[in-house]
Chain A
Amino acid sequence: MQILLNNYMIVGAIFLFGIGFMILLLHNNLIKKIIGMNIMDTSIFLLFVNLGYIKGKEAPIIIDGVMHASGYVNPIPTGLMLTGIVVAVSVTAFMLALTIKLYEKYGTIELDEIQNLRGD
């Protein structure tokens, strides 16, 4: 129980990841699935960014003059997550494009209907 308490961020991230996974799994509507995927991605980004966070320091954005390096939070994870977010966005865009195509072809984006349609 103690472990859970002191690194609550990781637990939170995993919990959020679970929610996203459940959405992806149970909903048959494609859009809902994409939303589920996004939730999962965000949970990972939160986890990653959180790793770099040091209590009591600010975000590494230069407002007025450069403070000493120790004043800021570790910038690398946040930098990495920028690319991560870009990747997630491009995947979602691709998925949405495919959904439109699917709609053109099948007239519905409910996966189980597509399943029945194609089956008969």
Chain B
Amino acid sequence: MQNLIKLIPLASIMILMLFAFVIPLLKKKKHVYKLTLVIMSLVTVINLIHVVYIALNGGYLFDVGHFPAPFGIVLRIGEVESGIGLLFCFINLMVLWYSYFSLEKEIKSNRIGFFHTLDFLLLASLLGIVFTYDIFNGFVFLEVSTLAACGIIVVKDKKANIKAAIKYLILSSLGSGLVLMGIAFVYSISGHLSMSYIHEALIQNAEGKHNLILISMILFTVGLGIKGAMFPLHIWLPDAHSSAPSPSSAILSALVIKAPIIFLIKVYYLVYGTTILSGTVVLDLVLFLGVLGMIFGSLFARSQKELKRMIAYSSVAQMGYIFFGIGLGNKLGLIMAIYHIIAHAVTKACLFLSAGSFIEQTGYKTIDEFKGIGKEMPVTLGIFTISSLSMIGIPIFPGFISKWNLAMASIESGKILLLFVLIASSLLNAVYYFPIIINGYFGEDNLVGKVFNSKIRPVRTLLPLIILSVVMVLAGLFSGFIIEFIGRGIYI
């Protein structure tokens, strides 16, 4: 039974890839939906079992095809990876369930099959990135995820989509180029591709090759930074989000930009290790870019006209928080970075789906047109409010917990001034989320001419949204368990 459960990570990747190519064979839309939902829930359940197993008896290494380490591909499955894996599957399930009702409105009916194929491929590659212990294997999964993500963006086949897809593809391939060059340098030093072996090789003959290590580190940071929407390199995100259909923009901002960050953390701590890392200034670079991201992300979000672009920029700001966590360099900072990945994924998915339902029901795009929407779609705006409260940092919600612990981490690392940055950015969040909520629910001239519950969607379509917000609140309330769970599997 034990090794059956150990098979789950590889099995989930395989199942997803397999069914990705079964879906085009189905003719009817209804069958496609049914199949995808069944498969997705199956994968989520087995991942859940897997997490429970890991919680009981800890992480392990898994040789794919029983080839030993230096030659075969090895998967490292710890608490962090299994947790993130479960998160990705759960959110993908919710998004698919939501798109079950709203996808026809956005893309042509013959394209739905392609959408689901690409989505399965994307999820498989993301899980691959998270689980892999071999950097070249990671690179390949990165490429697959880029193409799949590009596919999702372009599935809507509008002018803006294509332009956004081209921009995303060019930038991502630039990023992958840098990552490959980084791998080349690391390979030239260590001669291995499996992370643990590279680590030992690097430690032994690190003296002479200090420059090479430094260059490879920078290449990895920038390469994965683009894919993870680090602040200055986030340019592709807003265009991709504003044009893409809302389920895909939810997946994009909740999952696609998270996996490269996990890969970056693994590269930092499993390939280079803390000794080499503390020697260099790379973490301070990440911290600096994270801080910039937090401040300017919110600033740009504030001045956006369209709702989706605003939420996209807010993702850039939240990614800034994650980079801030990594950049601090201490254990609590890293744990909180991963916790924020989970919190942000759930909250952002919730935000994007509710925004999507606003746009779908009213047909408008810009924020000013959403004045008084609270009267027409009170429940959806309610969910939007809860998730934005978490973004702003109201005590019970996960947003607050990650802000609080990031502050503790920054005090621990001795950088008191960063507290002000944290406070300022959460204030800036409030500045651009609250007008939407206030103008949605209150204001005489906003509500004139609006009929109560006129544009409501049937409750069963809102179910995924409700579940997501409930999970978010639970993530906030039981953050103690999650943090402790991540703490056990952290790499430092």
Q: Find out whether A and B make contact in their complex, taking CB atoms under 8 A apart as touching.
A: yes
Do A37 and B180 form a contact, CB below 8 Å, given A51-B188, A77-B187, A91-B143? no
Which among B166, B170, B180, B193 is the interface contact of A84 at CB below 8 angstroms? B180
Do A90 and B180 form a contact, CB below 8 Å, given A33-B170, A95-B169, A102-B162? no
Contact B147 A91 (CB under 8 A): yes
Whether A73 is near chain B, meaning CB under 8 Å from some CB there, is: no
CB-nearest residue of chain A relative to B173? A91
Which among A30, A40, A98 is the interface contact of B165 at CB below 8 angstroms? A98
CB-nearest residue of chain A relative to B165? A98
Contact A83 B140 (CB under 8 A): yes
Whether A44 is near chain B, meaning CB under 8 Å from some CB there, is: yes
Q: How many A-B residue pairs have CB under 8 A?
A: 66
Contact B140 A98 (CB under 8 A): no
Contact B162 A101 (CB under 8 A): yes
Contact A51 B184 (CB under 8 A): yes
Shortest beta-carbon distance, A41 to chain B, in Å?
A: 6
**Besides the known contacts A24-B174, A47-B184, 17 further A-B residue pairs in the complex with CB atoms under 8 A apart:** A30-B166, A33-B170, A37-B170, A40-B177, A44-B180, A44-B184, A48-B180, A48-B183, A48-B184, A51-B184, A84-B180, A91-B146, A91-B147, A94-B147, A95-B169, A99-B166, A105-B159
CB-nearest residue of chain B relative to A104? B162
Q: Which residues of A contact B (CB under 8 A)?
A: 17, 24, 30, 33, 37, 40-41, 44, 47-48, 51, 76-77, 80, 83-84, 87, 90-91, 94-95, 98-99, 101-102, 105-106, 114, 118
Whether B136 is near chain A, meaning CB under 8 Å from some CB there, is: yes
Contact A95 B166 (CB under 8 A): yes
Contact A98 B159 (CB under 8 A): no
CB-nearest residue of chain A relative to B160? A118
B162 cross-chain contacts in A, Cβ below 8 A = 98, 101-102, 105
Contact A48 B187 (CB under 8 A): yes
Q: Which residues of B contact A (CB under 8 A)?
A: 136, 140, 143, 146-147, 150, 154, 157, 159, 162-163, 165-166, 169-170, 173-174, 176-177, 180-181, 183-184, 187-188, 193
9 smallest CB-CB distances across A and B, nearest first, come from: A87-B143, A48-B184, A51-B188, A44-B180, A105-B159, A101-B162, A47-B184, A91-B173, A98-B166
12 contacts between A and B (CB under 8 A): A17-B181, A37-B170, A37-B174, A40-B174, A48-B183, A48-B187, A77-B187, A80-B193, A91-B143, A98-B154, A98-B165, A106-B159
A84 cross-chain contacts in B, Cβ below 8 A = 180
B147 cross-chain contacts in A, Cβ below 8 A = 90-91, 94
A48 cross-chain contacts in B, Cβ below 8 A = 180, 183-184, 187
B159 cross-chain contacts in A, Cβ below 8 A = 105-106, 118
CB-nearest residue of chain B relative to A37? B173
B163 cross-chain contacts in A, Cβ below 8 A = 102, 114
Contact B136 A80 (CB under 8 A): yes
A95 to B151, CA, bound (A): 11
Shortest beta-carbon distance, B149 to chain A, in Å?
A: 11
Contact A24 B170 (CB under 8 A): yes
Which among A41, A77, A80, A91 is the interface contact of B169 at CB below 8 angstroms? A91
Shortest beta-carbon distance, B349 to chain A, in Å?
A: 26
Shortest beta-carbon distance, B141 to chain A, in Å?
A: 11
Shortest beta-carbon distance, A32 to chain B, in Å?
A: 12
A76 cross-chain contacts in B, Cβ below 8 A = 193
A68 to B470, CA, bound (A): 64
Contact A44 B181 (CB under 8 A): yes
Scoring B143, B147, B174, B184 by chain A CB atoms within 10 A of each residue's CB, the highest score goes to B184
A114 to B162, CA, bound (A): 12
Which among B143, B169, B187 is the interface contact of A98 at CB below 8 angstroms? B169
CB-nearest residue of chain A relative to B192? A76
B140 cross-chain contacts in A, Cβ below 8 A = 83, 87
Shortest beta-carbon distance, B211 to chain A, in Å?
A: 9
A90 cross-chain contacts in B, Cβ below 8 A = 143, 147
CB-nearest residue of chain B relative to A88? B173
A77 to B185, CA, bound (A): 12
A30 cross-chain contacts in B, Cβ below 8 A = 166
CB-nearest residue of chain B relative to A105? B159
A40 to B178, CA, bound (A): 10
A37 cross-chain contacts in B, Cβ below 8 A = 170, 173-174
A118 to B162, CA, bound (A): 13
A102 cross-chain contacts in B, Cβ below 8 A = 162-163, 166
CB-nearest residue of chain A relative to B178? A44
A77 cross-chain contacts in B, Cβ below 8 A = 187
CB-nearest residue of chain B relative to A21? B174
Scoring B157, B173, B183 by chain A CB atoms within 10 A of each residue's CB, the highest score goes to B173
B146 cross-chain contacts in A, Cβ below 8 A = 91
Shortest beta-carbon distance, A78 to chain B, in Å?
A: 12
